[in-house]
Amino acid sequence: MQEAYVNINNIPTHIITYGKWIEETITEKELVICITGNPGLPGFYTEFGESLQQELGNLPVWVIGHAGHDDPPEASIREVPQLSGNEELFNLDGQIRHKIEFITKYVPSDVKIHLIGHSIGAWMILQLLQEQSIRKRIKKCYMLFPTVERMMESPNGWVFTKIAMPLYSVFGYIFFNFFNFLPVWLRMILIQIYFLIFSIPKVFIGTALKYSKASVAEKVVFLADDEMARVIGLQHDIVEKNLDLLKFYYGTTDGWVPISYYEQLKKQYPQVDAQLDTKKIDHAFVLRHSKPMALIVRDMIEENREQSNM
C-alpha cells in the first residue's frame, strides 16, 4: 500500500494505491479506481482495496476520496480551503470535476479503467460517463449499493432530512468543536466505545478521528445535503446510453437503496446487468464486509476481463 496527499483541483487529496502508485509508469493495460461513498475518507477502504488487489493479482487498485473529506497532516504546508466561500469545490459538481481531473492527470490515455462507485460514488460515475474523454477510457463500471435515485425518499434519507439535518443545524458546530477540544486520548476512548457498541473494527479508529474534525464533518454534511436535493429521479438518458458499461449491485438490508429500487430498475430495463446481494452485506460494507465484497467485485472484474479477451 502507498498513500499520500496530492493536489487535485487545487485541493490536497488523500490517495491510497495497491500495486502501483499513481506517479509510477503503468505497464498494465487496465487498472481499478474506486470512488468512495460519503464520507469520502479512503482510510475506510483500506481492507477492501488491499483484499481486492490481492485477489486480482496484476491489476493496480487506486482509491480516491472526496475533496475536503480528509485533511492532510497538521505538519503539511498545504491546507484544504474552508467551506465558506468555496462551496463550488465541495458540492456534487465540484466532486465530479475533482474526479475528472484525477483521471485525466494520472491515468494514461491507453489504459482502460474498471471504475467502482460506492453509494454516491455510483451517481458520480453516471456523471463521468457524460464526459467523452472519460467514457472512452472506461472498461466497466461497478455500482455498489448505488444511491443514484430518490435518496430523500429512502428510509435513511427521511431520517437524514427530517431529524439529522435539523439537529446538526442547531448543535452540530458546537458538538464537533467541543469534541475536538477534548484531549486526543479521550476522543479515542469515546470513539472506541462507539465502535464497540456498533461492532466496528478498531482498525478504523484513526480514520474516524479524522472524520470527527469540524472542518471535515461540515463538508461531509454539506455534500450529503446536496445529495438529497440533487439525486432525485433516475437519470434514464445516461443509464440507457451506457447499459453495456454498467453493473449494479443492490443490498437487501439497505436503508438508502430499498429493494424496490432494484426491482423497478429491472422492470424498466430487463436487459440491465443488476444483481441482488445474497449475503446480507451492509450498505457501508467497508466497515464489516470488506473481504466478502472484494471477492464479489473480483468476480465481476474477472468476468469482464475474460469476456473482453475472448
Choose among 172, 206, 171: nearest CA to 83.
172
The cell 470488506 sits on which residue? 290
The cell 456498533 sits on which residue? 198
Torsion angles phi and psi, residue 141, rounded to 5: -115, 130
Identity at 14, one-letter amino acid code? H
DSSP, res 44: G
| Active-site residue, selected from the candidate residues 51, 98, 114, 119 | 119
* Number of neighbours of residue 143 by Cβ within 10 angstroms: 24
User: Quick check: is 119 catalytic?
Assistant: yes
- Give whole-number Cα distances, 129 to 26, 28, 147, 276, in Å: 23, 23, 16, 23
User: Quick check: is 308 catalytic?
Assistant: no
CA angle 248, 92, 3 (to 5 degrees): 80
| Active-site residue, selected from the candidate residues 66, 98, 283, 289 | 283
| Active-site residue, selected from the candidate residues 69, 254, 289, 290 | 254
- Give whole-number Cα distances, 158 to 37, 166, 225, 281, in Å: 18, 12, 12, 22
Rounded to whole angstroms, the Cα distance separating 17 from 44 reads 13
User: Quick check: is 244 catalytic?
Assistant: no
CA atoms within 13 A on the CB side of 264: 11
Give catalytic residues, as residue numbers: 119, 254, 283
